[in-house]
């Protein structure tokens, strides 16, 4: 990340409103505020969230799965934080009265070419310290009588919860001042003084150090701060259906993922409300918050198209993308994809459900950033890639971001 000197809001001559200024009231921003309050009681934290409440985007628009960490490269932040975070999330939910369950899940191979990838997942899970049970075709029915496959693995530590409720509990327990309806439009960061931001309402908030947890807009906030991140957020819409016959699925059923993509493929998830989500399909969104095909924001779409990585990504993976787009446009095609796992499903069993948008960081050469990405610059900590499993891993991520913010605060104090 490169530093660009920009001054748009005056910091000098004014008292600080807080010690740490967090931009973004999703689960990562609120976990950071929560972690700061526990690591350094008395530290003044202000969270700015542009929506009227917390968790309105990635946090509140997902399938609610507490991921085990089986998919992620051993030693990566995703692997370490997901494994640790899954156990901590269950404990947090129990302590704060958030609805949850440890259900376990099946990852099912439905074609012979998937078997080597399934076996590789077994090895990866064990390297990450996760208990994995291998199943033959006949054993699948012990867990999911309606699911068909050649082989599967059962991961016992996977669970479900209401992440929006977790975010609300974090907000309450953090002790931070949380300002809703506070969209950041300008930032003045001066390494010798601190950071001041101006909101769309004209308010100015001054802090000694800023933490950027803006999710879908994190690269834009970094640029407002005067930094130049190496990656840009390219939004992908995840389209879900609700299963009209939820009795077909007992728990969580996943396909074997394609290692070339961070997406896990269309899966079946029984949520805490008893309903079964099917999805998500992953297609490019035409806006950062493009939750349907009709939402187009020309400035945001133009920025995505202007980023060279978007075109490199499209050239590299156009066949995969064409399949996703076809399933997006055709419920029958989506149903065919689901029938690979659940043969009894018909197109009329799929009821449209609210979509989500994944904030995926993409490098200039089209590489999808595979791990969590946290970068520090003068008076700022930027969380630049925190899609799934960030909700699962939010407590350890929050502690890491808090550690960096507090270290920056101490250095600024000197």
What pLDDT, in 10s, does the model give residues 40-49? 999 999 999 9
| CA-based nearest residue to 271, from 5, 61, 80 | 61
Cα–Cα distance, 224 to 12 (Å, whole number) = 18
Cα–Cα distance, 187 to 210 (Å, whole number) = 10
Mean pLDDT (whole number) for 72-99: 97
Percentage of residues of the chain with pLDDT beyond 90: 89
With 60 as the cut, is the pLDDT of residue 259 above it? yes
Mean pLDDT (whole number) for 186-215: 96
State whether residue 256 is helix, strand or coil. coil
The helix (run of H) or strand (run of E) holding residue 185 is: strand 184-190
With 60 as the cut, is the pLDDT of residue 3 above it? no
**Confidence class of residue 241 from pLDDT cuts 50, 70 and 90?**
very high
Mean pLDDT (whole number) for 191-199: 94
Mean pLDDT (whole number) for 212-218: 98
CATH code: domain 232-363 is: 3.30.9
CATH 3.30.9 in the chain: give the residue spans.
Answer: 232-363
Q: Is 322 exposed, middle or buried (0-12, 13-18, 19+ CB in 10 A)?
A: exposed
Instruction: State the chain's maximal CA–CA distance in angstroms.
Output: 73
Cα–Cα distance, 84 to 151 (Å, whole number) = 28
Percentage of residues of the chain with pLDDT beyond 70: 96
38 secondary structure, DSSP code: H
pLDDT computed for residue 139 by the predictor: 97
**Confidence class of residue 20 from pLDDT cuts 50, 70 and 90?**
very high
pLDDT computed for residue 265 by the predictor: 81
With 80 as the cut, is the pLDDT of residue 11 above it? no
With 90 as the cut, is the pLDDT of residue 188 above it? yes
With 90 as the cut, is the pLDDT of residue 248 above it? yes
For residue range 50-61, list pLDDT tens digits in order.
999 999 999 999
Mean pLDDT (whole number) for 84-99: 98
With 90 as the cut, is the pLDDT of residue 305 above it? yes
pLDDT computed for residue 413 by the predictor: 77
Q: May I ask the CATH architecture of the domain 2-58+165-230+370-413?
A: 3-Layer(bba) Sandwich (3.50)
Question: Any alpha helices (H) in 139-241, and if so which ranges?
Answer: 140-143, 163-174, 218-225
CA angle 160, 165, 166 (to 5 degrees): 75
With 90 as the cut, is the pLDDT of residue 2 above it? no
Cα–Cα distance, 193 to 184 (Å, whole number) = 19
Q: Which single residue is written with the structure tokens 């974090």?
A: 170
With 50 as the cut, is the pLDDT of residue 10 above it? no
How high is the mean pLDDT of the chain?
94
**Confidence class of residue 344 from pLDDT cuts 50, 70 and 90?**
very high
pLDDT computed for residue 264 by the predictor: 74
**Confidence class of residue 320 from pLDDT cuts 50, 70 and 90?**
confident
For residue range 279-288, list pLDDT tens digits in order.
998 999 999 9
CA angle 393, 405, 203 (to 5 degrees): 105
pLDDT computed for residue 14 by the predictor: 53
CATH 3.50.50.60 in the chain: give the residue spans.
Answer: 2-58+165-230+370-413
Mean pLDDT (whole number) for 80-109: 97
**Phi, psi for 168 (deg, rounded to 5):** -65, -40
């Amino acid at each position: 990340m490169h530093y660009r000197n920009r001054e748009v809001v005056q910091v000098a001559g004014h008292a600080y409103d807080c010690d740490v200024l967090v931009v973004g009231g999703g689960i990562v921003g609120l976990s950071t505020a929560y972690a700061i309050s526990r690591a350094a009681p008395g530290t003044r934290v202000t969270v700015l969230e542009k929506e009227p409440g917390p968790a309105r985007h990635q946090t509140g628009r997902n399938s609610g799965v507490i991921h085990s960490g089986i998919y992620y490269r051993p030693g990566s932040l995703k692997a370490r934080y997901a494994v640790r975070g899954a156990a901590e999330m269950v404990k947090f939910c129990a302590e704060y009265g958030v609805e949850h369950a440890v259900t376990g899940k099946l990852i099912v191979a439905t074609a012979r070419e998937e078997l080597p990838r399934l076996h590789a997942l077994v090895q990866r899970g064990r390297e990450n310290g996760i208990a994995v049970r291998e199943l033959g075709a006949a054993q699948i029915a012990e867990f999911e009588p309606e699911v068909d496959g050649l082989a599967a693995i059962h991961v016992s530590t996977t669970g479900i919860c209401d992440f929006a409720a977790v975010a609300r509990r974090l907000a309450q327990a953090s002790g931070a001042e949380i300002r809703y309806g506070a969209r950041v439009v300008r930032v003045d960061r001066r390494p010798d003084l601190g950071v001041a931001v101006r909101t769309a309402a004209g308010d100015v908030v001054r802090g000694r150090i800023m933490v950027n947890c803006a999710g879908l807009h994190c690269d834009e906030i970094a640029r407002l701060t005067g930094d130049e991140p190496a990656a840009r957020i390219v939004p992908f819409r995840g389209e879900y259906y609700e299963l009209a016959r939820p009795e077909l699925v007992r728990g969580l059923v996943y396909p074997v993922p394609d290692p070339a993509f961070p997406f896990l493929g269309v899966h079946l998830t029984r949520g805490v409300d008893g309903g079964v989500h099917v999805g998500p399909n992953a297609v490019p969104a035409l806006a950062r918050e493009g939750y349907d095909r009709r939402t187009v924001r020309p400035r945001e779409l133009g920025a995505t198209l202007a980023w060279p990585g978007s075109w490199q990504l499209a050239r590299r993976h156009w066949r995969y993308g064409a399949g996703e787009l076809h399933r997006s446009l055709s419920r029958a095609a989506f149903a065919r994809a689901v029938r690979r796992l659940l043969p009894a499903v018909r197109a009329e069993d799929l009821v449209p459900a609210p979509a989500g948008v994944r904030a995926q960081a993409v490098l200039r050469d089209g590489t999808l950033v595979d791990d969590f990405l946290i970068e520090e610059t003068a008076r700022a900590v930027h969380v630049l890639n925190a899609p799934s499993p960030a909700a699962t891993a939010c407590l350890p991520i929050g502690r890491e971001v808090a550690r960096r913010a507090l270290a920056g605060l101490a250095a600024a104090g000197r």
